[in-house]
Structure 1
């Protein structure tokens, strides 16, 4: 794990490992950095299934965990901004995520970030 003080936590209904692998397949340079699996006799999970995992998306860590109960749907109220190296990279990531998900807000122009003077 890196030195991030805050790590977003994503809960998925069903298979956390499948979700992690999906993000790795869609986002360039993404990688699974840890997987913790249920061991034999451990409560609340089947042996070998993922208890939690950590995903690195362009250096940003995310934790994920499957939920035995239906997890709330994701919404645009919590979203992530990703700097892409090119328009082609943006198009590939956007279409990959849209193919397996639901688009709540289409691609929008975002103004350039300006550093706030300290």
Structure 2
């Protein structure tokens, strides 16, 4: 487990592992550091789905879980988003391009105040991100 005192915890309905693999593919240095699946007969989950998974990305960790199909996870909302401070324009462009693939661009990329590029993107899983480059 992480030393991080607060860790985002994302609940999916059957596609948590797909989301984790997507983030590994599109976010710099992201990697799955833990993945535990529901086993046959285990309560509260569907066999083979993610009981809990940890994704390390950009120095932070996030937990993932699949809710059972009989009790699906609520839909994500853009009211909660993940701010990503990109170190370069190339990193911003890669993050924006990856997250927007199959998702919805809500804003940007554009310059706002001291930021050279800002965007607001809801990815194909319904999770909202705000990549920013100063």
- List gaps (5 residues or longer) in structure 1: 113-118
CA distance in 2, matches of 1:7, 1:110: 29
Q: Where in structure 2 are the equivalents of 1:55-70 lying within 5 Å?
A: 55-67=55-67, 68=69, 69-70=72-73
Corresponding residue for residue 50 of structure 1: 50
Report the structure, 1 or 2, having the larger helix content: 1
RMSD: 1.9
Larger relative contact order (Cα-Cα within 8 Å, sequence gap ≥ 6): 1
State which drifts further: 45-54 or 29-38: 45-54
TM-score under structure 2 length normalisation: 0.72
Per-residue CA deviations over 1:91-118 (Å, capped at 9, x if unaligned) read 1111110113222233353647xxxxxx
SS at match of 1:105: strand
The corresponding residue for 1:38 is 38
